Amino acid sequence: MGMATYRFKLARSHSNAEKHFTLELDSRMTVLDALFIIQRELDPSLSFRCSCRVGMCGTCAMRINWMPRLACQTRVETLNAESITIEPLASLPVAKDLVVDLGPFFDKWKKVRPALHPKNKDSKELAIVPPDSEFGKQALVKRDCITCGACYSVCGITGSNEAYLGPAAINRAMLRLLDPRDGNVEDRVNALNDENGVWRCHTQFNCVAACPKNINLTDSIMKMKRAMLFPKRLYDK
């Protein structure tokens, strides 16, 4: 606690170079607070993205000391370092400085048809999902994705194969497949069972380590691999 000196090294896209800043900060401040100070007082051209500032929107994900993290949720004292290196997420095109284009991430997200496709569109009955049902239990620990792209950026497979669906899209597909209210099994199974679907995962767990919402993505991918081998249950749900 208290004030401390931190040295920041920031990736800058336009000059293909880094910029260094030394700041005196209250250790409880976040990396996002530091970026605002730099932009306001030292370098107005610095670009970064944020919105909610409370860990809900996922827009401030960036590499902080070589790990994808949410800048608004990373207090500088928790990094246990005087030097803080900040870079854009890996494996995504850089728009400017710390801002990446999440287009490739959302292209995969769209492939699994992420919205609910109701089984019975005309039903007026309230669809109740009991919390102790299989979907209720899975949803509780897998539903909090904020589409920050951290898991996608840190995945070793995505880094070498741009077509791979990636962990977040697979997790989303799993939630829809388990959802008793949803009727679109075929599109999701086709995307998951594709050559760039679940079978590309090499179980490296990088996504699990990176997810700011603590979603066990490798578990979701393993479950979907098993479901691709024994799909009958999905069609019978």
Where along the sequence are the contacts to ligand SF4 (CB under 6 A)? 58, 145-151, 167-168, 171, 210-213, 215, 217
Nearer to ligand SF4, 30 or 218 (CB): 218
The residues in 51-80 that bind ligand FES, with binding defined as CB under 6 A, are 51-53, 55-60, 70, 72
Rounded CA-CA distance 198/190 in Å is: 11
Distance between alpha carbon 73 and the CA centroid of its chain, in Å?
14
Instruction: Report the sign of the C-alpha dihedral through residues 211, 213, 214, 219, in that order.
Output: negative
213 binds, among ligand FES, ligand SF4, none (CB under 5 to 8 A by kind): ligand SF4
Amino acid in position 33:
D
The token pair that represents 75 in the structure block? 């207090």
How many Å apart are CA 18 and CA 87, to the nearest integer? 9
Q: What residues from 12 to 51 belong to the interface with ligand FES (CB under 6 A)?
A: 50-51
Which 164-203 residues touch ligand FES, going by CB under 6 A? Answer: none
Residue 150 contact partner, candidates ligand SF4, ligand FES, none, CB within 5 to 8 A by sort of partner: ligand SF4
In whole angstroms, the minimum distance from the beta carbon of 31 to ligand FES comes to 10
- Measured between alpha carbons, how far is 158 from 161 in angstroms, rounded to an integer? 5
Cβ pair 154, 68 in contact under 8 A: yes
- List the single partner that 147 binds among ligand SF4, ligand FES, none, CB under 5 to 8 Å by kind: ligand SF4
Instruction: Please choose which of ligand SF4, ligand FES, none residue 224 contacts, taking the beta carbon within 5 to 8 angstroms, the exact cut-off set by kind.
Output: none
Query: Of 1, 213, 233, nearest to 135 (Cα)?
Result: 233
Minimum CB–partner distance for residue 27 and ligand SF4 (Å): 26
Binding partner selected for residue 210 from ligand FES, ligand SF4, none, CB under the kind-specific 5 to 8 Å limit: ligand SF4
CB of 211 to ligand FES, least distance (A): 13
Residue-by-residue DSSP string for 101-135: --HHHHHHHHHT--S--BS-TT--S-----TTSHH
Is the CB of 168 or the CB of 189 nearer to ligand SF4?
168
The helix (run of H) or strand (run of E) holding residue 26 is strand 17-26
Contact footprint for ligand FES (CB under 6 A): 50-53, 55-60, 70, 72
